[in-house]
Amino acid sequence: MKRKTLLAGLGAAGIASAIPRRTLGDQDRATIVFRNGVVYTSRKDGAIAEAVAVSGDRILAVGSRATVDGYIAPSTRVIDLKGGMLLPGFIDTHTHFVSGSLARTQIALDDAESPDDVFKRIAAWAHAHPNEAWILGGNWQYDAFPPTGLPTKQLLDRAVPDRPVALDAFDGHSLWANSKAMALAGVTRATADPTQNGVVIGTIVRDASGEPTGVFKEGAQDLVRRVIPVPSNAVVLSALVGGMQAASARGLTSVINASGDLNEMALYQTLHDRGQLSLRTTTSYSAGAGTRHTLSPQELEAFDAARKQYTGDWVRAGVVKFFMDGVVETHTADMLQPYANDPGRGEPYYPAASYAAMLIELDKRGYAVMTHAIGDAAVRATLDGYEAAVKANGPRDRRWRVEHIEVCDPADVPRFAQLGVIASMQPYHFCCPAPDGSDTWARNLGAARWKEGFVWRDIVDTGAVMVHGSDWPVVTIDPLVGIYSGLTREDAEGNPKGGWFPAQDLPLDDILAGYTRNAAFAGFMEDRVGTIEAGKLADLVVLDRDLRKVSPQDVLHAHVEHTMVGGKVVYEGGSTPDRTAELPSRSGGECACHRLAQPVLG
């Protein structure tokens, strides 16, 4: 009978008692043992151990060093933790992994701070890549283009006059194109804003004369995207391998994709079949920002096909992703009250009745749902829709999620716990509005609502489940940056001192739960991953220091020593990113914020 050592009932400091060494059967031989450090199990009871034995793709035993040493055979590899910390592998609950992986091969404007800086980088990239038919990439920041926060096609036309250019904003909710790209797309001053079922779903930004400026918001992005050449499967697969290597170097063992379709899922399956998939993937069925679900027979057929085909531990489906609104920076987030500098309030993507009807139907079919909701009105509308499904269909283990929740009215904070809705946050998204309100997010929102921004602690304190992620490639996929941000609400230089609305920061155990135990729960994988327990899949990460015993600032300097997925070491040693360099400070000591982050990982 297989022997399992677990720290049940021993409390936060519990260590399993030693078991005398005995003759090992094949089922008891460890392939790898981790010892000589702290084992942070991420169990709810806070249990801590000294060592872990792994056999094949599973955790064989967890306990004291004396206990786990009993599983060592001559062929066992022993990994010395050297006083470091073994944790469950990090799970990023909100990525766009194909987009992020491709972005690593394209132009990056993440930390470009002015139009002149942007111009020089684009011109240099185009000169260095003369054979690229299109110049793609971006991650440009709204704050680089004062005072409006939006660039124009004229800058791109000067930088690249001979080829089409299409560059994404950092949040994926705006696209910036030059005249060549617009001509190929057939966009002129006569082109109307796109509609779906009679509803405008995106905006072509225009100057005072009505001429398109080159910026396309939300669903209008597709006017240009439809003429951008689609990369071949070979190109995407190569990019995905590079993206997974970057993720493994940062301790990630699983991701939940907040966008995707059958084609993307098939790519992950191809990598798995080739033995190259080093990251567990769950992919929601969604199109890009600005698109609306209709639950047409064709859509439902695609949803069902994905759910039936991808059910394993490596490639999974069964989640439908909605967008309820846009973003604060472009006045497209749906707000309860008008913006501070614009008479509009944004618009919801769906009328309440049609959104509720779709949720009720998906709920009947047993789907999980996640909804992008940034403005306080969008958050309320999403919770209202979820509540309508509960009332219509009764109790069920839904684990439905709301994504981002950048602004939340205090009246809606307790509804997450009341409805059993998971709050999905990206800790580095907050970091952090300029103290004087000069950045685009703070300026548009208005100081009166700042305190309602990113209310992590308020939501957790009601008893709601919270999970964490990055939204890569919006910001860096590195979980340690997210952990630092959650602990401090400061930038890498410690600004603003004491944190931006520090009452909303989170204790370490809650942050780690969001990347491990809670994240596994959100993905219906808590019986397999998310905690270090005997019998679970051996998805583990080793850090060079105990995060419980170092300063929050020191978290940014932690090294990932090993990453294991399914009992296989997929990363060890090598260079660790200089996270402080990836988070440059603004001049004048202001907060660096995510708008100066480096999401495109090397």
**472 in helix, strand or coil?**
strand
Q: What is the pTM of this model?
A: 0.89
**Residue 24: per-residue pLDDT:** 57
Q: Distance between CA atoms of 588 and 421, rounded to whole angstroms?
A: 41
> What are the structure tokens assigned to 564, written together?
């294991």
If phi > 0 it is left, if psi is from -120 to 50 it is alpha, else beta; for residue 94 that is: beta
CB-based contact 107:121 (threshold 8 Å): yes
228-255: buried (b, 16+ CB within 10 Å) or exposed (e) per residue? beeeeeeebbebbbebbbbbbbbbbbbb
Q: Distance between CA atoms of 282 and 255, rounded to whole angstroms?
A: 6
**Residue 10: per-residue pLDDT:** 36
> What are the structure tokens assigned to 477, written together?
């996929």
460-463, long-range: CB < 8 A, 24+ apart: 460/423, 460/506, 460/510, 462/413, 462/414, 462/416, 462/417, 463/417
Return the H-helix or E-strand segment holding 543.
strand 540-543
- Going through 385-509 in order, the beta strands assigned E by DSSP cover 401-404, 422-425, 466-468
**Residue 290: per-residue pLDDT:** 65
**Residue 289: per-residue pLDDT:** 65
Within 10 angstroms of residue 454's Cβ, the number of other Cβ atoms is 29
CA nearest neighbour of 252 among 260, 244, 262 = 244
Place of tokens 């941000």: 485
Span 556-600, pLDDT tens digits: 999 999 999 999 999 998 666 666 655 544 333 333 333 333 444
**176 in helix, strand or coil?**
strand
| φ, ψ (nearest 5 deg) of residue 393 | -115, -10
Report the chain's terminal Cα–Cα distance, integer Å: 46
Q: Report the percent of the chain where pLDDT is more than 70.
A: 89
**Residue 84: per-residue pLDDT:** 97
Return the H-helix or E-strand segment holding 74.
none
Say which DSSP state 192 is in: P
Place of tokens 């410690």: 494
Domains of the chain and any CATH numbers: 108-225 (3.10.310.70), 233-596 (3.20.20.140)
Q: Distance between CA atoms of 602 and 105, rounded to whole angstroms?
A: 9
Within 10 angstroms of residue 340's Cβ, the number of other Cβ atoms is 15
Q: How confident is the model at residue 143 (pLDDT cuts 50, 70, 90)?
A: confident
Span 392-411, pLDDT tens digits: 999 999 999 999 999 999 99
Distances in Å between the alpha carbon of 585 and those of 108, 451, 495, 580? 18, 23, 9, 9
**Residue 97: per-residue pLDDT:** 96
- Going through 286-414 in order, the beta strands assigned E by DSSP cover 315-323, 368-373, 401-404
SS3 assignment for 568-599: EEEEECCCCCCHHHHCCCCHHHCCCCHHHCCC
**Residue 574: per-residue pLDDT:** 66
